[in-house]
Amino acid sequence: MLKGRHLIGPGDFSIGELDSLFCLAERLEREPEYLRQSCRGKLLATLFFEPSTRTRLSFEAAMLRLGGSCLGFAEPGSSSAAKGESLADTARIVSAYADAIVMRNPKEGAALLASRYAAVPVINAGDGGHHHPTQTLTDLLTIKRVRGAIADLTVGFCGDLKFGRTVHSLAKALSRYPRITMRFVSPPELRAPEYIKAELGTPFIETDSLERVIGGLDILYMTRVQRERFFNEEEYIRLKDSYILNSEKMRLAKKDMIVLHPLPRLNEIAPEVDEDPRAAYFRQAAYGMYVRMALLASILGCV
């Protein structure tokens, strides 16, 4: 039962609970009328202290499709955070207005802190360079839909593995599934943090060459170099185009490999790859709304 639960990190829900969420998301996609008005009268607060397109809009679309309503801000300058209000106070106050809170914040641990003071469920929509568990729900559902099961896969993560919170969350989540091996492809400066690697109970190798490993991958998870987390713009400019996936590199990959990306995509996937049937990143973004509908209906007790 997920009613009343927070979602702060990728390990918060059991594999069984995730399976139920994915089944519900698939049903919501198949049957557009199912749970249509189930959250009528419920309010979702979306507190976005950092930019977002997909995550915020897919949460809002999910809530509206369930018959509920949304309030919040997409621009921290327009909230009391700009006056110096603490997250603890914001969480306490917003709990009095809304039935659940979705929060994105540039500070690692922000959603966890908010959950300690909120009287309603808190969903982490990204805390700095740490975790992004609802993107992971989207990614896992996409893998399940495209591959049939989340098992027996070699998964390559490529790009900014240091600051990429979607990578941290997905790698940790995947390591709980059977027979998953991982390939971490990044420049030495952008390797996955030790604390993430230490938590993986699954075999992995690290390399700086995509060409060397792409032929053995079942899934290639491309990521954007996270400019906003760099201290030094020159370093960003030097590293930003470290990897560009194009048709030539796709020729080295298996015929049934799939390419995922949490989006937004910059130069790391050439537009020519969009036409390749193995490109699954736009489908992935679409699944994000259904899995967030399933999540909201579950934690609000509307299913």
Verify binding: residue 265, ligand NCD, rule CB under 6 A: no
Residue 110 DSSP SS3: helix
Residue found under tokens 């018959």: 67
Verify binding: residue 224, ligand NCD, rule CB under 6 A: yes
Work out how close the CB of 128 gets to ligand NCD at its nearest, in angstroms, rounded to a whole number.
10
Residues 48-77 that bind ligand NCD (CB under 6 A): 54-55
Going by C-alpha positions, the residue among 155, 228, 165 that lies closest to residue 185 is: 155
CA 253 to chain CA centroid, nearest Å = 24
Work out how close the CB of 275 gets to ligand NCD at its nearest, in angstroms, rounded to a whole number.
22
User: Contact letters (x/-) for ligand NCD, 87-126, by CB under 6 A?
Assistant: ---------------------------------------x
List phi, psi (to 5°) of 106.
-70, -10
Residues in the chain: 303
Verify binding: residue 186, ligand NCD, rule CB under 6 A: no
Q: Smaller CB distance to ligand NCD: residue 95 or 124?
A: 124
CB 119 within 8 A of CB 95: yes
Going by C-alpha positions, the residue among 239, 265, 46, 225 that lies closest to residue 129 is: 225
> Number of residues in contact with ligand NCD, rule: CB under 6 A?
10
Residues 126-185 that bind ligand NCD (CB under 6 A): 126, 132, 135, 165-166
Work out how close the CB of 261 gets to ligand NCD at its nearest, in angstroms, rounded to a whole number.
8
CB 32 within 8 A of CB 293: no
Q: Which spans of this chain sit near ligand NCD (rule: CB under 6 A)?
A: 54-55, 126, 132, 135, 165-166, 224, 262-263
